[in-house]
Chains A and B, each alone.
Chain A
Amino acid sequence: AQTVTQSQPEMSVQEAETVTLSCTYDTSESDYYLFWYKQPPSRQMILVIRQEAYKQQNATENRFSVNFQKAAKSFSLKISDSQLGDAAMYFCAYRSAKVNAGANSKLTFGKGITLSVRP
């Protein structure tokens, strides 16, 4: 079974600065997807960024980028130019890439990290 670990329960960043959120995972599969979801106080689960394990290039979405280290099974999220609206809980998630995966198509989540942004 796959596991996702987010060991930092809370982080804080000054507005306009950069922050990195850590995530590690464990799997025996070679092909999979990794995601970062944002959950603001409204409770919505919002996709921030995704990474295909077979791609060596790190994914980037505007101010959000990842550092994907497949051998180390590490998947950190970097937020540049932090904004007040970035304050939320962030979840790292794993999903198998197996076709017709059934239950393996589920997302396996870490416990999340609460990010606060100081004005």
Chain B
Amino acid sequence: NAGVTQTPKFRILKIGQSMTLQCTQDMNHNYMYWYRQDPGMGLKLIYYSVGAGITDKGEVPNGYNVSRSTTEDFPLRLELAAPSQTSVYFCASSYSGALVGEPQHFGDGTRLSIL
């Protein structure tokens, strides 16, 4: 079972470069999320999507963009990478936003360093 798949697993970027973090899920989930995890901290929401064509900002959206053209894919784009974006990025999905007790399923994360 693939679940939530993120690529790449590791990446080093130079300041000012751009890149896209890929996320795909094969569970037909409507809700998808991007979180970042800074050292010694919990995860914070960057963007989320409640279905294809619908996205919205989370707690820390500055410097990022997302799109949701299909149910399966939810890429996260960094424009003009900055050192403050050095973090581990997690993609997650769930069938519904608040189905009884339903947990979010997480990808394995992407470790991104901006130098």
Contact = CB atoms under 8 A, between A and B. Distances in A.
Contacts of A101: 97-98
A35 B31 CA distance: 18
B75 interface: no
Contacts, number: 75
Contact of A111 (B40, B90, B100): B40
Interface residues of A, number: 31
A44 B33 contact: no
Contacts of B94: 105
B104 A111 contact: no
B26 interface: no
B52 interface: no
A33 B57 CA distance: 22
Report the contact-size class of chain B (Cβ under 8 Å from the partner).
20 to 34
Interface in A23-51: 33, 35, 42-45, 47, 50
Interface in B18-71: 31, 33, 35, 40-45, 48, 50, 56-59
Given A43-B108, A101-B97, A106-B58, A112 B42 contact: yes
B9 to A, nearest CB: 9
A97 interface: yes
Interface string B73-96: 000000000000000101010101
A114 to B, nearest CB: 9
A107 B104 contact: yes
A102 B50 contact: yes
A46 to B, nearest CB: 8
Contacts of A98: 98
A35 B35 CA distance: 16
A99 interface: yes
5 contacts: A9-B40, A102-B56, A105-B94, A107-B104, A112-B40
Interface of B: 31, 33, 35, 40-45, 48, 50, 56-59, 88, 90, 92, 94, 96-98, 100-101, 103-104, 106, 108-109, 111
